[in-house]
Amino acid sequence: MTAPPVVAASAAPPVDRERGRRRARRRNLGSALLFLSPWLVGFAVFTAWPLIYSVYLSLTDYDVINDPNFVGADNYVELFSDPKVALALGNTLFFTIVQVPLYVLVSLLLALLLNRAGRSAGVFRTVFFLPKMTPPVAVGILFLLLFNGQNGLFNTVLGWFGIDGPSWTTDAAWVKPGLIIMSLWTVGASVIILLAALQAVPDELYDSAKLDGAGFWRQSFSITVPMISPALFFIVVVNTIAGLQTFDEAYTAFFGAGNTTYSNDAALFYVIYLFQQAFEFLHMGYASAMAWVLFALIMVVTAIQILVSRRVVYYEGDDRT
């Protein structure tokens, strides 16, 4: 520490300096707010106000044409006895609970293989990522075609192994499993996140494990997976939140104008039902209540995941393991 320059200190009287500093800080805050202004305005108009208004709407009957009619907690009461909400919620939870572990497992497997592929990894990485660039609507269309019961590719391949594939797109029991399998096609982004995490694992850990005679699987489960557990956790959380909001692919394949052939309760996911309530039946109040229930569900699930992660996820330099 150097002593403060005596000359400067005595040159400016303390009162003036204090005032000057305050003025500088105000100027600083002013310029900061200027730069933040787009977000501040956007937040007020498109986040804060919608949040407040959405709470209000959830307590009303509102069809856009007539003024909102206050009904208290009626929407929430109705929601919990609506069999379609229960159905949509069940579908969504089933989809998410089955899909997320499979999704993580497939991306982990691909990332582990890519990590050991040497120079050819780049080509494979590209191939695995491409489906992520396909519009979800097109993925929904592909699902209808590839999982077609009679001559779709998926059942044809199953046929080679003597398996008589089900009618994925029409049999209520197989619609969700089919959509889950199709969704595994778009694991590309997760693969890249995991691959980046894998490449950050220090080599020395593997060297010493080899000294102890650990093979590929032993190394994977004793070193690799714990070391990349923060990235795995990130993927689990993000995909769970996305899974609970599944919409595009299922809506394309099973809902919409003129769809009488496939209209199918098995693909009625929560956000699809919410969308129908809001924009097809114009039950804006009811849909708002549904949105808040979804929000609560996401919060609870994420909180549980964070609690579990405290025991499972390993952060370097942290003794908690």
Q: Which of 192, 236, 250, 268 binds another protein (CB under 8 A)?
A: 192
Residue with tokens 């499972």: 312
* Contacts (CB under 8 A) with another protein, residues 223-242: 230-231, 234-235, 238, 241
User: 264: how many CB neighbours lie within 10 A of its CB?
Assistant: 17
Which range in 75-83, 96-104, 202-210, 311-319 contacts another protein by CB under 8 A? 202-210
* Contacts (CB under 8 A) with another protein, residues 66-95: none
Min CB(13)–another protein separation in Å: 26
What whole-number distance in Å separates Cα of residue 63 and Cα of residue 281?
8
Q: Which of 11, 12, 24, 45 binds another protein (CB under 8 A)?
A: 45
Does 217 help bind another protein (rule: CB under 8 A)?
Answer: no
In this structure, the chain runs to a length of 321
CA proximity to 206, closest of 195, 193, 221, 194: 221
SS3 category, 293: helix
Q: End-to-end distance of the chain based on CA atoms, in angstroms?
A: 40
Give Cα separations from 114 to 122, 131, 311 (angstroms). Answer: 8, 17, 28
- Cβ proximity to another protein, 59 vs 235, nearer residue: 235
Does 46 help bind another protein (rule: CB under 8 A)?
Answer: yes
Burial class (CB in 10 A: 0-12, 13-18, 19+), 188: buried
Which range in 78-86, 107-115, 162-170, 313-321 contacts another protein by CB under 8 A? 107-115
Min CB(174)–another protein separation in Å: 19
- Cβ proximity to another protein, 174 vs 192, nearer residue: 192
Q: Which of 61, 206, 223, 227 binds another protein (CB under 8 A)?
A: 206
SS3 category, 60: strand
User: Helix, strand, coil shares of the chain as percentages rounded to 5?
Assistant: 75, 0, 25
| Both tokens assigned to 222 | 């004793």
Q: Which of 11, 97, 200, 303 binds another protein (CB under 8 A)?
A: 200
CA proximity to 244, closest of 302, 285, 288: 302
Which range in 79-87, 97-105, 160-168, 195-203 contacts another protein by CB under 8 A? 195-203
CA 97 to chain centre: 13
* Contacts (CB under 8 A) with another protein, residues 125-184: 125-131, 133-138, 140-142, 144-146, 148, 151-153, 156
Q: How many residues bind another protein (CB under 8 A)?
A: 107
What whole-number distance in Å separates Cα of residue 64 and Cα of residue 289?
16
Q: Which of 19, 21, 22, 25 binds another protein (CB under 8 A)?
A: 25
Which residues contact residue 13 at a Cβ distance below 8 angstroms, ignoring those fewer than 6 apart?
none
- Cβ proximity to another protein, 13 vs 208, nearer residue: 208
- Cβ proximity to another protein, 10 vs 179, nearer residue: 179
Q: Which of 69, 210, 281, 321 binds another protein (CB under 8 A)?
A: 210
* Contacts (CB under 8 A) with another protein, residues 265-294: 271, 274-275, 278-279, 284, 287-288, 290-292, 294
